[in-house]
Structure 1
Amino acid sequence: MTYPSVKLNDGRAIPQLGFGVWQVENDIAEKVVGIALDDGYRHIDTAKIYGNEEGVGKAIAASSVDRDEIWLTTKVWNDDQGYDRAIEAFNESLARLGVESVDLLLIHWVSAHRGLYLETWKALIELQKQGKAKSIGVSNFPEEHLREIIDATGVTPAVNQIELHPYFNQAELRKVNDELGIKTEAWSPLGQGGEVLKDPVITEIAETHSATSAQVIIAWHLANGIIVFPKSVTEERIASNFKALELKLSPEEIEKINGLTREDGRIGADPATADF
């Protein structure tokens, strides 16, 4: 089994399959991140707003895996947007994580109504220059805001992390990301564990491969070149999700899953109109 990576526009390679910790309590995060690292994951995605950076940091510090082998992502929350505040908030994240730098720092939401996303992007550029954030990117950014920050600074985000799952496959925004040289990351890649896991198309493909529905969906993300980090707090599922790396879908199966997308498939807020 090979562990695939994706090359970013800054020349660095990010592990394509990672482990997410959204909605995971701080003490639980310490435990499950440790399990994930033991299982072979080398990419951990957290954020200030998740409230578990400290637990993630403790797991990394306690792991037998060298820090330089682990890709660590965190994010600047909406309340911390603005040049000076973003830098201050990120330094607070570093302290909670117990590390000197992260591999990827993202602006968590465009939060356009605040009018601070460009200044925040400039702060991330400065943090990258300082070596504290080795790669920088955004999350939940629509096309117009991506183009605005690139045009204003000349610096293109390495990634855009967006809601993406079979019922909402974001084909158009993925095309924009590709055009701009931005890699796409998926949040809620399993549709938050709901209806999509029971979809007949997914379950039929899973039966064909003696796989789980989650493994099929993760394999679909990987086949489409998407960076994906499913979350689980169950030891068995953490291990099972990682084994999706062994699953290869046929072009026909990938197209069947591509066809599941829906106009009303979005689960979370629309970044273009979100006001938090």
Structure 2
Amino acid sequence: MARSLTLKSTKQLLSGYEIPILGYGVYQTPTNVAEDVTVEALRLGYRHIDSAAAYKNEKEVSAAITKAGLPRSEVFLTTKIPPAATGYDAARQSIEDSLKKAQTEYFDLILIHAPFGGKEGRLGSWRALVEAQKAGKTRSIGVSNFGVHHLEELEEYIKSGGGGQIAVGQYEIHPWLARSELVAWLEKRGAVIQAYCPIVRNQRGDEPVLKELGKKYGKTAAQVLIRWSLQKGLVPLPKSVTPARIRENAEVFDFELDEGDMAKLQTDKYEPCAWDPTVNQD
């Protein structure tokens, strides 16, 4: 991973559109601060916002784009169909509701938030996403928290005429939950992989390896972890409501972890810090 990466760097999606390699996450960001902190992120140079219907802040983060004085086309905006809206009809309505709340004509990416609702629910939601993409309501589509068995079910549906492409897979990923099997499955098919909780909710700051690498590079534990994600080819989505931390999370393009240090961060552990719907067997 060359140092030439910047906050403006992008990856190309299967849909042909570009996605910025670092996103700003707004999970559980309260509505009374969501607009202001998103404006701050945009002011610092972020051009990728990861929201969701379940976060209940689509209106505020979208309004922040206008407040920041940016054209809608310059910001990559994501939302997600919530678990409570799985199935064709509910997913269609969820997409319309999200467009209305965000007061936007389109999203850059809409994901199915989790693989709940059984096979019929998942495939119905995908059908709604494919229709929305064809109608220009979203530029790209994908999934979040799908296990390999859910992905294979969806791939079979797509190949049998269901249509669409899995452009993005979003998961909790960090050195203590690298998800190598899922990453390999998606990469083989050309999907971009987003990593939420890339800094493990600041729960690992006392790890000796992070202290060692932080001292070596003059960086915080969070910056080391975000850089790890970038060098793994992932698109990390760090979340913060603190302006200093929002800035800090973007200051990861002036150093590079060497091969040996990347190896030190390989733990082969499976320790989620959030929910883990990938194991859902429904």
TM-score, structure 2 length as denominator?
0.92
Whether the aligned pair in 2 keeps the contact of 1:164 and 1:188 (CA below 8 Å) is yes
The equivalences for 1:17-56 within 5 A come to 17-56=22-61
| Residue 77 of structure 2, aligned match among 68, 72, 79 | 72
1:94 counterpart residue number: 99
Tell me, in whole angstroms, the C-alpha distance in 2 between the residues paired with 1:14 and 1:223. Answer: 16
Indicate which of 52, 60, 83 corresponds to 2:65.
60
> Out of 194, 207, 219, which is 1:185 matched to?
194
Q: 1:25 to 1:275 in 2, by over 3 A?
A: farther
CA distance in 2, matches of 1:46, 1:97: 10
**CA shift for structure 1 position 244:** 1.0
Matches within 5 A, 1:228-243: 228-243=236-251
- Aligned counterpart for 1:268 among listed residues 265, 268, 274: 274
Alpha-carbon distance between aligned partners in 2 of 1:42 and 1:54, rounded to the nearest angstrom: 17
Rounded to whole Å, the distance in 2 between the matches of 1:115 and 1:275 is 14
Output the CA distance in 1 between the equivalents of 2:9 and 2:73. Answer: 17
Q: Are 2:137 and 1:138 aligned? A: no
Flag structure 2 segments of 5+ consecutive residues without an equivalent.
none
Q: CA RMSD in A?
A: 1.6
Q: In 1, Cα distance between the equivalents of 2:50 and 2:196? A: 10
Output one character per residue of 1:10-61: Cα deviation in whole Å (capped at 9) or x when no partner.
2221001010000110121101100000000000000011111111122112
Query: Residue 224 of structure 1 aligns to which amino acid in structure 2?
Result: K
Q: CA deviation at 1:274?
A: 4.4
CA shift at 1:270, angstroms?
A: 2.8
Alpha-carbon distance in 2 for matches of 1:158, 1:270: 21
What is the deviation of 1:113? 3.8
Structure 1 residue 159 corresponds to structure 2 residue 168: yes
Amino acid at match of 1:193: N
Deviation at 1:112, TM superposition (A): 4.8
* 1:184 CA displacement: 1.1
Name the count of aligned residue pairs: 273
- Of all paired residues, the percent bearing the same amino acid is 36
Alignment of 1:75-224 (within 5 A): 75-113=80-118, 115-154=120-159, 155-194=164-203, 196-224=204-232
AA partner of residue 232 (structure 2) = N
Query: How far apart, CA to CA, are the structure 2 residues paired with 1:63 and 1:11?
Result: 27
SS class of match (2:46): coil
User: 1:229: how far off?
Assistant: 1.2
**8 Å CA contact retained: 1:15, 1:42:** yes
**Structure 1: which 5+ runs fail to align?**
none
Q: Quick one: distance in 2 between partners of 1:101 and 1:184? A: 21
- Alpha-carbon displacement from aligned partner over 1:209-240 (angstroms, at most 9, x marks no partner): 11111111000000000011100011001011
Q: Please tell me whether the aligned partners of residues 215 and 247 of structure 1 are also in contact (alpha carbons under 8 angstroms).
A: no
Q: For residues 65 and 204 of structure 1, what CA distance do their matches in structure 2 show?
A: 40
Deviation at 1:156, TM superposition (A): 2.6
Measured in 2, the distance between the counterparts of 1:134 and 1:164 equals: 25
CA deviation after TM superposition for structure 1 residue 170, in Å: 0.8
> Contact 1:42/1:69 (CA < 8 Å) preserved in 2?
yes
For residues 97 and 279 of structure 2, the distance between their equivalents in structure 1, rounded to whole angstroms, comes to 29
* C-alpha distance in structure 2 between counterparts of 1:172 and 1:273, whole Å: 13
CA contact (8 A) 2:86 2:117 kept: no
Contact kept? 1:34, 1:59, Cα under 8 Å: yes
